[in-house]
Structure 1
């Protein structure tokens, strides 16, 4: 029986070692990426501290309903585009437009110059402008994470501001740290392509194997402690006998 237990412990040890090699790299990446993601507050990562205070909608505004042209609408919102009150019209589907809140007239798509003005106005301290580029809804950089036509305004220091090309909304601010954070987030969930899928088979499989490895390690530690406690009395008796002789 003792020989069987010894062989079983040896087999469990070999399994634990091989599992440790298998999940060692993912565990290191999970720990490293987790550390990167908690170094800074999430609001700072998102650039919320870089935004200026939003302009309040005038209390005296007599908003004129937007011209919907007979299209079904899911949602209407009042907002400020700089100093201009506008309606944000959310049509059925993914289409959105802006309308002048004082006349109800639909506004044309945002130009590059307008996008820059909107981005500058949304920042406490706009940096030096490096470039302005428009992206189609299906060709946006991965960092935007929105299927909307957008202008990307690039400032020195690595700050990117994204302005909706149809509505003029500030969709996102992306700092250099955010991009690093996003890369490590992709490592954390093992999805560097879209960085959004948190339940794919690879992640679930490695997580399950890691759990088995940790549990097996605790079992082996418990068994070893029991062996030591059982061996301690016999060793004490042997030492006592030698002392009496």
Structure 2
């Protein structure tokens, strides 16, 4: 038994040095995730429903739009937006073409003033739009691709609305709180690059080492309890910790 205890002590000591900081990240990250409502992280409390006008009856049929644009979409959706009815044509992957369902012509990107107005109409909160930037490619934090308007608000959470330049719809919301939560998540799964992969070898290895830490800790606890019980049974004073 003494050999098992000595081995457990060595394993416990060295493994603690290797995974101790990550265990702290797991505990702190888990506490943050269960303490902050996910709806607040997503910025849902800053969303105001904006009713789009009803679809008119005289929209251009898909076959005519397809012939006019030369597109043969895998998927097509007729939608009502703040800029009028549109056909959203998709190749089933990442490519999308948004055209007017009245003229069949692809919609030009909104102006900065239009993007600000669309974001402000969809925003519920105490802030106001203070900056608008047209991005040819969306940043990683949106999880999407293609051009977008980013409109920043001056509220306490530094909320940013990512607005579709074609339809004026808010595609994504991000904030300082979301970015902090995202950082905690990435530390939690040890994927600082994308935050999507929680099956990689590093996480599996650290988790296995943490399991060894727990098992050896239990071995040492049982050994300590047995020793203390034996000393009490023999009427000996307990050893100082």
Normalising by structure 2, report the TM-score: 0.82
- Deviation (angstroms), 1:50: 1.1
1:26 lines up with 2:49 in the alignment? no
Q: May I ask how many residue pairs the two structures share in their alignment?
A: 230
Q: 2:226 and 2:57 mapped to 1: Cα distance?
A: 78
| 1:149 corresponds to | 147
- Deviation (angstroms), 1:102: 4.0
> In the alignment, is the contact (CA less than 8 A) between 2:73 and 2:89 conserved in 1?
yes
- Which region of structure 1 is more displaced relative to structure 2, 44-53 or 118-127? 118-127
| 2:234 corresponds to | 235
Q: 2:186 and 2:204 mapped to 1: Cα distance?
A: 15
Runs of 5+ unmatched residues, structure 1: 239-245
1:39 lines up with 2:35 in the alignment? yes
> In the alignment, is the contact (CA less than 8 A) between 2:52 and 2:81 conserved in 1?
no
Q: Deviations over 1:137-196 (max 9, x none)?
A: 3xx333222122211111112111112334543221112211111111121112222222
Runs of 5+ unmatched residues, structure 2: 237-241
> In the alignment, is the contact (CA less than 8 A) between 1:57 and 1:79 conserved in 2?
no
What is the SS of the residue equivalent to 1:147?
A: coil
| 1:241 corresponds to | none
Normalising by structure 1, report the TM-score: 0.81
| 1:12 corresponds to | 8
Q: 1:182 and 1:234 mapped to 2: Cα distance?
A: 53
- Deviation (angstroms), 1:103: 4.4
Q: 2:153 and 2:111 mapped to 1: Cα distance?
A: 18
1:209 lines up with 2:209 in the alignment? yes
Q: 1:191 and 1:201 mapped to 2: Cα distance?
A: 11
Which gives a bigger RCO, structure 1 or 2 (Cα 8 Å, sep 6+)?
A: 2
**Alignment RMSD:** 2.7
Q: Deviations over 1:86-144 (max 9, x none)?
A: 2222234312122233444432233333322322222224732222112223xx33322
Which structure has the larger Rg over C-alpha atoms? 1
